[in-house]
Amino acid sequence: MTGRDAPDRRERPASAIAAAAFGVSVLGAAGFAAVYAAGGQTQLEGLTLAVAFAGIAFGLSVWARRLLPTGGYVEEHEPFDSRPTDLRLAAEALTGPESPVRRRGLLTMLALALGALGGAALFPLRSLLPFDRVRPVHALRTTPWAAGVRLVRADGTPVRPADVPDGSVLTVFPEGHRDRGDVPAFAVRLDPARFTVPPSGGEVAGVVVHSLLCTHAGCPVALYLQGTARVLCPCHQSTFDLLAGARPIAGPASRALPGLPITVDADGYLVATGDFTAPPGAGFWSLK
């Protein structure tokens, strides 16, 4: 019996190590699927995927380095064709029941690891499906602004129409969601008689509210030009006319600032009656 007819004592631990590595890969892939299904967490998803790939890589490395024949073979240049006897022996070595590439259990574990990884990779496809309301296809088009949500300042205090100052803008957020990047808005007091286009979100006692995010690339439209009732984005100088539906009149922005529909609640505070009239922020939303 030759050394390849049966695994020697040094090969058995190597088989166990490779199988264990594939098993770790299965756990990593399952962990990725579980984290994703539970709502997702970027660092954990990356970590579990790294474990899945590392398990397969390590298992294949051990398999190749310690179980497959290595080095020390010499072949004469002539003739180039293998002799029939050599071909038969090679085929037997690779396909026989004791072949190192058909080591019992390893192929099963490798197939399991690759299958688990492939299955886990299908989970993110859910993000592209239209019924998933927390994933990008919806999350990028909606914000926490909704009917009955109060407008609050940065410190969380609610806002009455009379709190909106003359001559400047007041930055507002939806109550309970001040940390979201897509929610900032500004309230400004204007003379309704000057509107050439009604504000898309309506007005309450001359107070109108629009998204604070420039529709070009998302910078805050932080500069208010009181005399002309325009707001200017400092990033690339897009200018929006608040008397004409907040449409852009200069600069690269091509879309009006979304309006926020508002009213007052029973306590006299400003509340939204729905989400922005259009997705806030960068203008790619209007591309077809």
Residue 219 binds ligand FES, judged by CB under 6 A: yes
Instruction: Work out whether 216 is an interface residue with ligand FES (CB under 6 A).
Output: yes
β strands within the chain, DSSP E: 151-152, 169-174, 185-189, 207-211, 223-225, 230-232, 239-241, 247-250, 262-264, 270-272
> How far apart, in whole angstroms, are the C-alpha atoms of residue 288 and residue 84?
64
Residues in 248-267 at the binding interface with ligand FES, rule: CB under 6 A: 251-253
Binding residue count for ligand FES, defined by CB under 6 A: 11
Asked if 220 touches ligand FES (CB under 6 A), the answer is no
CB-CB neighbours of 102 under 10 Å: 12
Q: What distance lies between CA 100 and its chain's CA centroid?
A: 42
Residue 112 CA to residue 107 CA, distance in Å, equals 8
Choose one: 22-30, 157-165, 171-179, 232-240; the region binding ligand FES (CB under 6 A): 232-240
Segment near ligand FES (CB under 6 A); pick from 135-143, 144-152, 174-182, 231-239:
231-239
222 is an interface residue for ligand FES by CB under 6 A: no
User: Does residue 62 contact residue 153 with C-beta atoms inside 8 Å?
Assistant: no
Nearest distance in Å: CB 62, ligand FES: 53
Stretch that binds ligand FES, among 7-15, 40-48, 164-172, 216-224 (CB under 6 A): 216-224
Closest separation in Å from C-beta 210 to ligand FES: 14
Q: Are the C-beta atoms of residues 65 and 10 closer than 8 Å to each other?
A: no
Residues that bind ligand FES (CB under 6 A): 214, 216-217, 219, 233, 235-236, 238, 251-253
